[in-house]
Amino acid sequence: MKKTILHTPEGVRDIYNEEIEKREVIIKQLKDLIKTYGYDNIETPTFEYMSVYYKDITLRKSKDLYKFFDKDGNTLVLRPDFTPSIARAVSKYFTDDKVIRLFYVGNVFANNRRYQGRLKESCQFGGELIGEESIDSDAEIISIIVNALKSCKLDDFQISVGHADIFKGLIDIGKFDEDDTETIREYMLNRNVFGLEEFLESNNTSKDLIDMFLSICKMYTPGSDDWNRLLDKANQYKILSKSLNYLNDLYEVLRKYGVEKYISFETGSLSEYDYYTGITFAGYTYKSGEPIVTGGRYDNLLSNFGNKRPAIGFGIFVDQLQLALDRQNILYIEKSNKIIICYKSCDRKKAINEAIKLRKQSNIVELILLKDDFDKAKALYEDENVTVMEIK
């Protein structure tokens, strides 16, 4: 046999045995949980027209997409993300004024060269709440995330919440031009507060505003003295103060959900994409070098499909979550017991009848047609969860 045909391409892989069992458990927990909030399942195609993902929607670089052509010459793309597909589907099928709650699970594809040694096909689970622009819907999404992660027995995690208008507010105060905004953005994305401070000083920014920038770049425990001081300081700036107070109000709603202990504010957070219009968030835990969940409010996305409706959504990176659960030794799958019935072809009828009987009693039964003697088969298959028996 040619050995080369045994390989899978870089970035994709087989998932089997215990790993797939664990994944199924995780996905079941997530599904069961989100269903209790009234979310319905949706499945969208694995590939779609490129314009769904790429027309000013995500600014995702075109080279990161897996592209191919159909027979008419249209460019098709393997989905890099579910949200635009769902926005398209909703604009097409859900045209009345009802609030829409949907969840999805499936694989997404990233043709990203930088991801060396990293998955190009990965599993995502997410939810979208469409048609409501309120603090209540923001809180609902965050509480779903917290409870979904908890349903997987994860406890040591943190959801950092920010707001897209905070950065806009800061830029608005300083009246920075495009180039300076880009530099500031770069420093803030890198959490390089000292670099930011030097840049602002060299740019003759007022001491007050520099101080504001530096305070924004910290992380906050909601309700703490530090946080309240920040609210006071921001009071003089309209947009900034509005978005910070929004976070504060959001926290109050989250307390009603009882999920506040997992929340921190990351006021200086920025998304790589201009996609979000309101709150943004990301979830982190130990032993996974990347976020396990991200999301936010995207009130303008649906208008790209001619259906202007507010929306908020999240996506859990199932592979990252599973990795973290594994490394934190949380996920434990109890192996189910199995009965193996060995038989020779002359005893076929007896063996099948026995299997039917045992399966009716909810046993897992595997039939093995004996090629040689029973003892060999017993030695091959038997372990602590497997009972091997012979029908004669």
Partner 1 sequence: MNEKYLTIALGKGRLAKSTMELFEKIGITCTEMQDKKTRKLIFVNEEYKLRFFLAKGPDVPTYVEYGAADIGVVGRDTILEENRNILEVLDLGFGKCKMCICGPKEAKELLKHQELIRVATKYPRIAKDYFYNKKYQTVEIIKLNGSIELAPIVELSDVICDIVETGSTLRENGLSVLEEVCDLSARVVVNQVSMRMENERITRLIYELKQALQE
CB of 243 to partner 1, least distance (A): 20
Q: Give the x/- contact pattern for partner 1 in 129-168, rule: CB under 8 A.
A: -----------------------------x-x--------
Using rule CB under 8 A, residue 185 touches partner 1: no
Query: φ and ψ at 364, to 5 degrees?
Result: -95, 120
| Total residues in contact with partner 1, by rule CB under 8 A | 23
Using rule CB under 8 A, residue 91 touches partner 1: no
Which one among 2, 7, 71, 114 touches partner 1, defined by CB under 8 A? 114
Q: Which stretch binds partner 1 (CB under 8 A): 79-87, 147-155, 191-199, 254-262?
A: 191-199
CB of 194 to partner 1, least distance (A): 6
Which one among 209, 219, 231, 330 touches partner 1, defined by CB under 8 A? 219
Using rule CB under 8 A, residue 106 touches partner 1: no
Which one among 31, 67, 150, 191 touches partner 1, defined by CB under 8 A? 191
Which is nearer to partner 1, 247 or 351 (by Cβ)? Answer: 247
Which is nearer to partner 1, 130 or 316 (by Cβ)? Answer: 316
- Cα radius of gyration rounded to whole Å, the chain: 26
CB of 306 to partner 1, least distance (A): 35
CB of 219 to partner 1, least distance (A): 5
The C-alpha torsion from 381 through 385 and 388 to 389, rounded to 10°, is -170
Which one among 25, 133, 151, 195 touches partner 1, defined by CB under 8 A? 195
Which is nearer to partner 1, 106 or 195 (by Cβ)? Answer: 195
Query: φ and ψ at 186, to 5 degrees?
Result: -60, -50
| Lookup: tokens for 383 | 């372990």
What strands, in cross-sheet order, belong to the sheet with 47-49? 47-49, 75-78, 67-69
The angle at the Cα of 289, spanning 216 to 274, to the nearest 5 degrees, equals 45
From CA 127, how far away is CA 48, in angstroms rounded?
A: 20
Which is nearer to partner 1, 280 or 288 (by Cβ)? Answer: 288
Which one among 50, 193, 209, 368 touches partner 1, defined by CB under 8 A? 193
The angle at the Cα of 295, spanning 45 to 153, to the nearest 5 degrees, equals 95
Which is nearer to partner 1, 113 or 348 (by Cβ)? Answer: 113
Q: Give the x/- contact pattern for partner 1 in 271-300, rule: CB under 8 A.
A: -----------x-xxxxxxxx---------
Which one among 46, 51, 111, 192 touches partner 1, defined by CB under 8 A? 192
Write out the residues near partner 1 by the rule CB under 8 A: 114, 158, 160, 189-195, 218-219, 264, 266, 282, 284-291
